[in-house]
Amino acid sequence: MKGSTHRRCYCRDPKTGKPLGKNCPKLSSRKHGSYSIRQELPPRDDGTRRSFSRAGYETLKDAQADLDHIRALLGLAESDDPEALASIATLLETVATEKAPLPDIEATRRRLSHGIDLTSRLTVGDWLDMWLAAKKGRQSAISRDESNIRVHLKPRIGHLRLDRLRVSHLSEMFEAIAEANVEIAEGNAARRKAFEDLSRIPWKGREHRARRKAMKAAIDEMDPYRRIVGPATRQRVRSTLRAALNAAIAQQLVTFNPAAHVELEAGKRPKALVWTAERVLQWRRTGERPSPVMVWTPEHTGLFLDHAAEDRLYALFHLVAFRGLRRGEACGQKWTDTHLDAGLITVAKQLVVDGWEVYEDDPKTDAGARTIALDSDTVEVLRRHRAQQDADREKWDTAWVETGRVFTRENGELLHPANVTRRFIELYEEIGLPPVRLHDLRHGAATLAHAAGADLKAIQEMLGHSSIAVTADTYTSLLPEADLAIAEATARLVPRARAQHTPHTPHAAVPNRAALPGETPGAATPSAHAPRTQTAPDEGSEAV
Q: pLDDT tens digits for 392-438?
A: 999 999 999 999 999 999 999 999 999 999 999 999 999 999 999 99
23-32, 242-251, 267-276, range with greatest mean pLDDT? 242-251
Q: What residues form DSSP beta bridges with 354?
A: 357
Instruction: Select the more confidently predicted residue: 240 or 490.
Output: 240
CA distances from 419 to 129, 236, 530 (A): 33, 27, 33
Q: Whole-angstrom Cα distance, residue 168 to residue 416? A: 43
Q: What pLDDT does 436 receive?
A: 94
Q: Give percent above pLDDT 70 in the chain.
A: 89
Q: Whole-angstrom Cα distance, residue 172 to residue 178? A: 10
**What mean pLDDT is predicted for residues 462-478?**
73
CB 266 within 8 A of CB 272: no
Q: What pLDDT does 121 receive?
A: 75
CB 513 within 8 A of CB 276: no
**Residue closest to 536 by CA, chosen among 189, 300, 236, 230:** 300
Which residues, including other chains, have CB under 8 Å from residue 543's CB and lie 6 or more apart? Answer: 373
Residues 490-526 have pLDDT tens digits of 778 888 777 655 554 444 333 344 444 334 444 433 3
Q: Which of 199-203, 290-294, 415-419, 477-481 has the lowest mean pLDDT?
A: 477-481
Q: What pLDDT does 542 receive?
A: 33
Query: What is the residue-wise DSSP string for 113-133?
Result: HTT--TTS--BHHHHHHHHHH
pLDDT level of residue 531 (50, 70, 90 thresholds):
very low
Residue 530 has pLDDT above 70, yes or no: no
Q: Which of 67-71, 352-356, 370-374 has the lowest mean pLDDT?
A: 352-356
CB 408 within 8 A of CB 415: yes
**What mean pLDDT is predicted for residues 77-86?**
85
DSSP state of 474: I
Q: What pLDDT does 482 receive?
A: 66
Domain 273-488+507-541 architecture: Orthogonal Bundle (1.10)
Residue type, 391: A
Q: Is 270 helix (H, G, I), strand (E, B) or coil?
A: coil
Instruction: Quote the radius of gyration of the chain (alpha carbons, Å).
Output: 36
Q: Whole-angstrom Cα distance, residue 21 to residue 8? A: 5
Q: What pLDDT does 124 receive?
A: 95
pLDDT level of residue 234 (50, 70, 90 thresholds):
very high
CB 242 within 8 A of CB 260: yes
**Residue closest to 424 by CA, chosen among 327, 358, 489:** 327
Q: Whole-angstrom Cα distance, residue 203 to residue 237? A: 46
Q: Whole-angstrom Cα distance, residue 33 to residue 22? A: 10
| CATH code linked to domain 126-260 | 1.10.150
Q: What pLDDT does 475 receive?
A: 59
Q: Whole-angstrom Cα distance, residue 109 to residue 390? A: 66
Q: What residues form DSSP beta bridges with 224?
A: none
CA distances from 176 to 126, 229, 234 (A): 22, 11, 12
Q: What pLDDT does 481 receive?
A: 62
Helix axes 139-148, 124-134, angle to 10 degrees: 170
Residues of the chain with CATH 1.10.443.10: 273-488+507-541
Query: What is the residue-wise DSSP string for 24-74?
Result: -GGGGSTTSSEEEEEEEE---TTS--EEEEEEEESSHHHHHHHHHHHHHHH
Q: What pLDDT does 524 receive?
A: 38
Compute the C-alpha angle 29/32/33, nearest 5°: 130
**Mean pLDDT score of the chain, rounded to an integer?**
84
**What mean pLDDT is predicted for residues 237-256?**
91
Q: What pLDDT does 241 receive?
A: 97
Residues of the chain with CATH 1.10.150: 126-260
pLDDT level of residue 527 (50, 70, 90 thresholds):
very low
Q: What pLDDT does 299 receive?
A: 93
CB 363 within 8 A of CB 349: yes
**Residue closest to 248 by CA, chosen among 340, 367, 154, 116:** 116
Residue type, 117: D
Residues 94-147 have pLDDT tens digits of 899 888 889 888 878 877 877 777 776 789 999 999 899 988 888 878 889 999
Q: Whole-angstrom Cα distance, residue 539 to residue 544? A: 9
pTM of the model: 0.63
Q: What pLDDT does 301 receive?
A: 94
Residues 268-323 have pLDDT tens digits of 777 788 899 999 999 999 888 898 889 999 999 999 999 999 999 999 999 999 99
Q: Whole-angstrom Cα distance, residue 405 to residue 349? A: 11
Q: What pLDDT does 187 receive?
A: 87
